Amino acid sequence: MPLERLSSQKCFGGWLQRFRHRSAALDGDTVFAVYLPPQAEQGKKLPVLYWLSGLTCTDENFMQKAGAQRLAAELGLILVAPDTSPRGPDVPGDPDGAWDFGLGAGFYLDATETPWSRHYRMHEFVVDELPALVEAHFPASDKRAISGHSMGGHGALVCALRNPGRYRSVSAFAPVANPMHCPWGEKAFSHYLGADRARWREWDASVLIGQAREMLPILVDQGERDAFLVEQLKPAVLQAAARAANYPLTLRIQPGYDHSYYFIASFIDDHLRHHAAALCG
């Protein structure tokens, strides 16, 4: 799988780069960003943190706004950020041009309904294809962690819960924690997965946490002044499901913080250290 390098900038002794490649899972070209810390030039393989961004975002938002590279350079973590959906002239979007479905809103699942099922296979891409690509082309080990924000927080939780043994750690910022019971999730799931709500349960972290075969400790940060907190995010549902399953979830409600990258940048170091503890020992 050849890579086309789009950009490369020196950053905290390492390199922030963007690449384009042809994705089999997405049936089209896609772009992802990689931060290689300075230890990547020393010849040994490094652990990788995969970051999944939220609605309307691309691979660039996290790398430009979260401020994660400084500590990643210190800890020796590779950061990888894919796009949030397939894109291209043949990829269908929302027929009404809405921002919360289609392009930029892949919800990190594998669609089963036409016309979405041809391209919208973000789960397969994130879990299987992207790590294989990263581990083939960069000094990356198979020690993987996953995190994300909002729709990407949902994606990170679901990727970890559905694939025991694939990741060493998981965390999320303001995840869409119960998508089958919120407007964003109901809209996306009904299009991507069809009307049978029983199939939606396979992509809802608040359901999956009760079925988990692996107990990776989850760290979740949620802003108390997040405008989407009550209607869309529903962290209390995730917390209740974790308690019922005796699952190790740490949910931190952060007073005064909203849904923005100012919130993420304020607590990203805690998440990087959470992952480094599992990845690096």
- Active-site positions read 150, 226, 259
Burial class (CB in 10 A: 0-12, 13-18, 19+), 272: buried
Task: Look up residue 150 and give its DSSP letter.
Answer: T
* DSSP3 helix / strand / coil % (the chain, rounded to 5): 40, 25, 35
Tokens of 3: 């890579």
Distance from C-alpha of 281 to C-alpha of 278, rounded to nearest angstrom: 6
**Is there a cis peptide before residue 2, judged by omega within 30 degrees of 0?**
no
Question: Residues 278, 43, 70, 154: what is their CA dihedral angle, to the nearest 10 degrees?
Answer: -40
Residue 8 main-chain phi, psi, to 5 deg: -155, 120
